[in-house]
Structure 1
Amino acid sequence: MNKKLIIAAALCGLALGSRAQTEKGSFLLGGDFNFHSKRDKDDAPRTNSFGLGPKFGYFISDNFAIGLGASYFYSNQESWTTDDQGPEGPIRKFNNGFRQSGFNIAPFVRHYIDLNAKFKFFSNLSVSAGKSWGRSLGEPTTNNYLSKFELKYYGATLSPGFVFFPTKKIAIELSTTLISYHRSEDTFKYDPNNVNTLYVPQIRHMFQFGLSTIQPAIGVNYHF
């Protein structure tokens, strides 16, 4: 009988400990890191990017938190050459790469669902606003030119994931983007070959859903 009471008490303690990690009035402090590599064309170098950023949240009710995150990212693609077929034979074409970095601020809301004493599922909805800047890499030719640019962008992202609590206060997360929308606007561009070039700012909209958005991210949070 005593053994049964001890086991029941232990199970209740685990359940309460799991709830205390995300109960009303608790805080979370953490950050994440992500890396993404893709190839837009078969003959082009891969575009590599990474991001990192801290975040802070407060649980306004059990398993429901609001917070604020900030992040920095960097991406680049090396320049490359291709052989195009011209009227008089192959033509060597030089393609510019690019280097870009930026930052953004992202308020978020997050909801957790208990799976067991150590694991939870969560969904994270964030809206973001930020700025980035960069330049093209390579040599100017008759087919292209070097440029510098700045962008302003806004967006929203829904990211589900799983969190593992190895201890009461430490949480390890694995998440990915499920749905995202971003709006960006060019604010500056410079052509060193023609300083009088008139450049009309471009506005771009990008919506992604499902497998095309998969960008795994690992994060570690401290709950207190």
Structure 2
Amino acid sequence: MKKILLTLTAVAGITFASQAQTEAGKTMIGGGVSFETQSVKDSDYKNNSFSILPQVGFFVADNIAVGARLGYAWSEEKESSDDKFATSEFVVAPFGRIYQGDGQVKFFGQLSAPMSWGTVKEDGDKTATTANYGVALAPGIAYFPTEKIGIELSVRGLYFESQTSKNEATDAKRTVNNFGLNVNSLAPTLGVQFHF
């Protein structure tokens, strides 16, 4: 009898602890940092990029969070010893997220509206400005090993992006629109969120 009571108490404790991460009034903090470098053998081509995108969310109701990702992204492309292009952008991405499920594993869906504004420089001189807008619906799964930590695995999902660049010298604008569905399970995003 003691074993059964102890098992039921442990299960109830785990269930309560796993609900505690996504209950109304809680805060979720996370984000991402990335660095990438690329070069082509027997060529002067090089590409380096860096981004830092912290994220904060607030649970407005049980299992429903709203928040934003704010950050900075930079990339530099060198095609020859003389030509160098650098892009820097300020990024804002408000989001809403809904969790579904009980226990330590929960599925979630996230709707976000990523936006960024930046500049393009060629050999140090500003040549263009950029403005990018989008919307994305991404599914994921979260595992909560403790009350304060959530480990997440997600895919890009359904998305639309509109990327506009404006030439500084001619005022000419170029807009590229992308629409896609990307649920590649071989290229998921892994993340960690801290819950308070």
TM-score by length of 2: 0.80
| SS in structure 2 of the partner of residue 9 of structure 1 | helix
| SS in structure 2 of the partner of residue 202 of structure 1 | strand
Letter in 1 for 2:17: G
1:147: Cα distance to partner?
Answer: 6.8
1:199: Cα distance to partner?
Answer: 4.5
1:217: Cα distance to partner?
Answer: 3.6
Q: Does 1:17 align with 2:20?
A: no
> Counterpart of 2:162?
183
CA contact (8 A) 1:147 1:189 kept: yes
CA distance in 1, matches of 2:195, 2:152: 13
CA contact (8 A) 2:77 2:86 kept: yes
CA contact (8 A) 1:35 1:215 kept: no
| SS in structure 2 of the partner of residue 6 of structure 1 | helix
CA distance in 2, matches of 1:35, 1:165: 27
CA distance in 1, matches of 2:46, 2:139: 27
> Counterpart of 2:148?
169
1:50: Cα distance to partner?
Answer: 4.0
- Aligned-residue Cα RMSD (Å) equals 3.1
1:65: Cα distance to partner?
Answer: 0.9
Which runs of 5 or more residues in structure 1 are unaligned? 82-93, 138-145, 191-197
Decide whether aligned partners of structure 1 residues 5 and 211 sit closer, same or farther in structure 2, where only a CA change above 3 A counts: closer
Q: Does 1:221 align with 2:193?
A: yes
Decide whether aligned partners of structure 1 residues 6 and 206 sit closer, same or farther in structure 2, where only a CA change above 3 A counts: same
TM-score by length of 1: 0.71
Runs of at least 4 residues of structure 1 off by over 4 A?
Answer: 34-39, 43-48
| Range with bigger deviation, 12-21 or 23-32 | 23-32
Q: Does 1:105 align with 2:105?
A: no
Q: Does 1:122 align with 2:108?
A: yes
Identity of aligned residues (%): 31
CA contact (8 A) 1:32 1:217 kept: no
> Counterpart of 1:151?
130
1:18: Cα distance to partner?
Answer: 0.3
**Deviation per residue, 1:59-117 (Å, 9 max, x gap):** 12221111122122123333159xxxxxxxxxxxx9x5632121121111001123642
| SS in structure 2 of the partner of residue 55 of structure 1 | strand
CA distance in 2, matches of 1:23, 1:52: 28
**Deviation per residue, 1:151-207 (Å, 9 max, x gap):** 1121112222232323211223233311221112223434xxxxxxx3422222122
CA distance in 1, matches of 2:64, 2:33: 23
1:24: Cα distance to partner?
Answer: 1.9
Letter in 2 for 1:8: L
CA contact (8 A) 1:73 1:103 kept: yes
Letter in 1 for 2:52: L
CA distance in 2, matches of 1:109, 1:30: 15
- What number of residue pairs does the alignment pair up? 192
Which runs of 5 or more residues in structure 2 are unaligned? none
CA contact (8 A) 1:157 1:181 kept: yes
CA contact (8 A) 1:34 1:218 kept: no
